[in-house]
Amino acid sequence: MIENYYGFENGISGKDLYNTGIKQAQNLGIEVKNEEVIKIEIQDKNTFSIKTVENEYTSKVVILATGNKKNTPKNIGIEKYEGKGVSYCAICDGFFYRNKSVSVLGSGEYAISETNDLINIAKDITILTNGEKAPEFRADNVKIDTREIQEIKGDTKVEGVQFKDGNTLETEGVFIAQGVAGSTEFAKKLGALTNKDTIIVNEKQETNIKGLYACGDCTGGLLQVSKSVYEGTIAGLEAIKYIKEGFEK
């Protein structure tokens, strides 16, 4: 229950606030698509391509505002092996894992999307669901392992994943794709500057990439609805200005 957002004398649940906001946008004629985004890429200068499970869209501007829900499992050594076998981007780093055994950590559509990016590159892929239900996915060189993970193992780089049952899977790469892809995952893949789990923006909510903005919890700082609404306002207004000025800054 949110009790400190101005205008609700008895407070309001996060879910109700969210749903009411979506309806408000729709009442204003704004199209809302209830689709999961699995990829955002820069198509060419000034154009983004946004791929969902169902469709693909193009846009001149993207505003990232998916909050900062931390899906990545803690205390299994992910940070320790970043750049040494742990990767957040299959399409960026798959090159280094050609003909190797790799893993994808996740269980949803995003994990499947990352797996698909590795299928023709890696020798074999194991989707590690870390205790979650196995996704509906089949491919010749893909296995699914639903065991809970204890930790990632390796001397100077990833060599395996140890499960809580004590057994170890040999693997040379772990691609993190847990849950639904969020703002920070997209930002990292596009090449936006991030600071651990938050996206770095200026006072106009701009990232270092033209046309890409971020607002709300994904930019860190005060994790409050009021701050998110303020940043959303700035991002929206700046995006409009950017488009009207013909994308030049």
Q: Least separation, in Å, of the C-beta of 8 and another protein?
A: 39
Tell me the CB-side half-sphere exposure of residue 10, using CA atoms within 13 A. 1
Min. distance of Cβ 184 from another protein in angstroms? 12
At residue 127, the 3 state secondary structure works out as: strand
DSSP letters spanning 187-198: HHHHT--EETTE
Of residues 101 and 146, the one with the C-beta less far from another protein: 101
- Smallest gap from Cβ 41 to another protein, in A, equals 7
Looking at 22, 53, 92, 134, which residue binds another protein (CB under 8 A)?
92
Q: How far apart are CA 207 and CA 214, in angstroms?
A: 7
Among 58, 96, 131, 139, binds another protein (CB under 8 A): 96
Closer to another protein by Cβ: residue 144 or 218: 218
DSSP assignment letter at 8: -
Q: How far is the CB of 246 from another protein (least distance, A)?
A: 21
Integer angstrom CA distances of residue 134 from 76, 111, 123, 137, 179: 20, 11, 21, 8, 13
CB 211 within 8 A of CB 241: no
Q: Pick the stretch among 82-90, 110-118, 127-135, 227-235 that binds another protein (CB under 8 A).
A: 82-90
Nearer to another protein among residue 16 and residue 82 (C-beta): 82
Instruction: Answer yes or no whether residue 87 interacts with another protein by CB under 8 A.
Output: yes
The contact mask relative to another protein for 179-218 (x = CB under 8 A, - = no) is ---------xxxxxxx-----x-------xx---------
What are the contacts of 127-136 at 24+ separation with CB within 8 A?
A: 127/103, 128/103, 128/104, 128/161, 128/169, 128/174, 130/73, 130/105, 130/178, 132/107, 133/107, 134/107, 135/107, 135/108, 135/109, 135/111
- What is the identity of the amino acid at 76? I
Calpha distance 24→37 (Å, rounded): 22
Task: Tell me which residues in 30-69 interact with another protein (CB under 8 A).
Answer: 41-42
Site string for another protein, 116-135 (x = CB under 8 A): --------------------
Question: Which stretches of the chain bind another protein, using CB under 8 A?
Answer: 41-42, 82-85, 87, 89, 92-93, 95-97, 156-157, 173, 188-194, 200, 208-209
